Amino acid sequence: MTQERQAMLFGLGAVALWSTVATAFKVALSYMSPLELMWIASLVSWALIGVLVARQGLLGEALGRGWRTAAWAGLMNPVAYYLVLFAAYDRLPGQEAMALNYTWALAMAFLAVPILGQRLTRIDVFAGLVAYSGVWVIATRGAVFDVAFADPLGVGLALASTLLWALYWLLNARDHRSPLVAQWQNFSVGVPVLTVLLLAGPGLQWHGWAGLGAGVYVGLFEMGIAFVLWQLAVHRVSRTARVANLIFLSPPVSLVLLFFIVGEPILPSTLVGLVLILGGLGLQQWQKSPAPAAQS
């Protein structure tokens, strides 16, 4: 099998797993609070990536250097980003939170102007207008001339998660840590912080094996295995855009899973808004390869 074909298979594997996470989030959050889910998932992901770091002989590097960057990066991702994202999923239908979260690439393009000194092209601006018109359709649930959002806090949290994710990757543009080491160090910072927040807040309660299984699934696949598969794909493909375009397969699959497993009726406003968001992302990718990133 050629390296290019391996890259596409790894990319498809990552996208297949990311297609399940909206459903996994909603199922897990039906049992526990966002903070409890975050703690369980982070602990599982930390352990999994730690094993991979050790097996690849990177433990010395992981323990020795890079902690100054991890000190702030770990507070952004996983702590701040996933807590805000899970809070959005806790308030909104999964289809809406998932669709709004896909605007992170456009948020990155706009934030790159003040942070990296980059310039927006006309296509960037037009793509943003198209995609964020989709955000408006979803936020108003089709009542586009009504400024009263169905859940303004939920919409705000979903959009805030895209800003945190984009900001995290932009600030990490000069991060020289290897991806696995960086991920493990970030979780090594995040897990103790989440433990303190959990103990100082609601505490950890037993929600049954189904709740635990849902939390483990999120940590194992959304934060762990999918990330590894995506990194393998990006490092093997000759042109990043080929793998990045696979992301567009995820939303339709996510909607189908939410419908059949969670029982969410697919709102017409979600479909229209999602088409606009993906159209805006497509315009943006048409002009240039996207910045390297790994989300749901």
pLDDT in tens, 28-46: 999 999 999 999 999 999 9
As a whole number, mean pLDDT of residues 52-71 equals: 91
pLDDT classification of 238: cutoffs 50, 70, 90? low
Model confidence at 295: pLDDT above 50: no
pTM here is 0.85
- Nearest in space to 235 (alpha carbons), one of 176, 178, 155, 162: 178
28-31 contacts at long range (C-beta below 8 A, 24 or more positions apart): 28/211, 28/214, 28/215, 28/217, 28/218, 29/86, 29/89, 29/90, 31/207, 31/208, 31/210, 31/211, 31/214
